[in-house]
Amino acid sequence: MTKYSALLFISGLVFLLMVITGLLPIFSDSHTPMLVGKAILEGAKDQVGAANVVTSVVLGYRGLDTLGELSILFAAASVVGLVLTKSSFNKAASANNDKHDHHDSGFVAVNAIDLIFPLLLVVGMYIITHGHLTPGGGFQGGVVLAVAFSMLVIVRPRRASINHGMVSIIESFAGVSFILIGVIALFKGQSFLQPLLSHGEFGSLWSAGTLPLLYLAVGLKVGAELAGLLLALNSDEVVD
């Protein structure tokens, strides 16, 4: 019965979406960007100075949006830690957990992660620092860093371990520096998170003012948060 009503609902929704899609202006050849997009494309080169316009939007025109996004991610990571803490389970479960010993993964996984770990670090930092020139940036590079560190811990839980205090220090340092850069712009009489410093030579690594610094902060924060989240998901006892 639920299945049939769901099918009915969904067929109505399909009809509605198809009709709406047919009315969109995208199917005509003279389709141009929306007004905001057009204005940003025209002004981004002079106002922000980053070659990658998406980076200009993420950190320049919509920097406040990115700050909100970072806080949502922070809230999600905190709640995962809160939900999965050992003290909230009962005592018997945590005593059981201590007896549960962790084994290293197999030969292939251990050696592969030893090989690719430094490469992953280099790739992650490259993606973060070149975010204003090429596709990529703090989010993608941060994810690569987080996966590199947490894979190291997941594959060989005995030898490698991540200091949770260190992770939270990096995370809060990155978050505070992101906000500080925004506040410094306020003190200079500009808008919050407006890019500062000189634009430099267009297309070189040292260009676009404070955007690379902001992306570095975003990358460190996303990396630290996601690594902590993965380890919190992995490190608890097996639910049976």
Partner 1 sequence: MIWVVTVVVFIMLAAALAVLFLPNMIAAVVASAVVSLCLTVIFAVLKAPDVAMTEAAIGAGLSSLILAIGLKRLGYWKTDSIDKVKAGERHD
Partner 2 sequence: MNHFFTVEGILYFGAISLSIIGLFGLLVSKNLFRLLLSLVLFEAGANLVLVLSGFIRNGIAPIFLDGNSGAVMNDPVPQALVLTAIVIGVGVQALALSLIFRVKKHYGSMDMRTIRSKLEREIAENAGVTPPGSNEAPAPVKLIEGENS
Distance in Å, CB of 170 to partner 1, minimum = 18
Which CB, 71 or 111, lies closer to partner 2?
A: 71
Angstrom distance (rounded) from CA 226 to CA 78: 11
- CB-based contact 209:49 (threshold 8 Å): yes
75: its two tokens: 């809230």
Of the residues 34, 95, 108, 115, which one makes contact with partner 2 according to CB under 8 A: 34
202 binds partner 2 (CB under 8 A): yes
Angle between helices 211-235 and 107-129 (to 10 degrees): 160
* Interface size with partner 1, residues (CB under 8 A): 24
CB of 187 to partner 2, least distance (A): 27
Q: Mask of contacts with partner 1, 119-158, x by CB under 8 A?
A: --------x-------xxx-xx--xx-xx--xx--x----
Q: Name residue 187's amino acid.
A: F
Q: Which of 19, 23, 32, 187 binds partner 2 (CB under 8 A)?
A: 32
Binding at 234: pick from partner 2, partner 1, none (beta carbon under 5-8 Å per type): partner 1
12 contributes a contact to partner 2 by CB under 8 A: no
Look up residue 239 and give its DSSP letter: P
Binding status of residue 95 toward partner 2 by CB under 8 A: no
- CB 183, min distance to partner 1, A: 27
| H or E element, residue 150 | helix 138-155
Binder of residue 89, out of partner 1, partner 2, none (CB less than 5 to 8 A by kind): partner 2
Sign of CA dihedral 193, 194, 200, 201: positive
Taking alpha carbons only, the member of 190, 178, 164 closest to residue 86 is 164
CA distance 24 to 211: 35
- Rg value, the chain, Cα: 23
Nearest to 177 by CA among 219, 130, 135, 239: 219
Contact set with partner 2 (CB under 8 A): 2-3, 6-7, 9-10, 13-14, 17-18, 21, 24, 26-27, 29, 31-34, 36-37, 40-41, 44-45, 51-54, 56-58, 62, 65-66, 69, 72-73, 76-77, 79-80, 83-84, 89, 93, 134-135, 139, 143, 202-203, 222, 226, 229-230, 232-233, 236, 239
